[in-house]
Amino acid sequence: MRHPLLTAALVTSLLTMQYASRADEGVENSGKARFAEHCAVCHGVSATGDGPFANMMTTKPADLTQLAKQNKGEFPFGHAYDTIDGRNMLVAHGTRDMPIWGKELKSAGLGGETGLRGQLVETLIYLRSIQVP
């Protein structure tokens, strides 16, 4: 070992990346479970808009695997967050087919506003992970 400090820094960096990757995977898994519980009935397990309730809706549910593609390759985190939360959407822009999950989840008493935000972010991290090129 000619450069012990460089070697130590490299090992530390790799271990940190491995830990962060496992943490991200845990968040994605939580988001996937939350998606299955609240969203898959309309958007489908594959998130492509083919859920069991999709045919009963006036407007077809969005294909959530295409969000980044429709936004020049960038996942529209803020817009998707606002859409799912729904509490700040302008009523003047028309009817809303999707439930206002911010109100629904917050009233479920799962940690107040902070808990709600965590749940929404987990779901968005999952959705970001399933984007198709």
pLDDT band at 113 (very low <50, low <70, confident <90, very high): confident
CATH architecture of residue range(s) 23-129:
Orthogonal Bundle (1.10)
**Long-range residue pairs from 66-74, CB within 8 A, at least 24 positions apart, any chain:** 66/131, 66/132, 67/127, 67/131, 68/128, 68/131, 69/131, 69/132, 69/133
Cα–Cα distance, 40 to 61 (Å, whole number): 10
The answer to whether the CB of 76 falls within 8 A of the CB of 68 is yes
- Average per-residue pLDDT in the chain? 79
Under DSSP, the state recorded for 50 is -
Give the per-residue pLDDT at 49: 95
Give the per-residue pLDDT at 116: 77
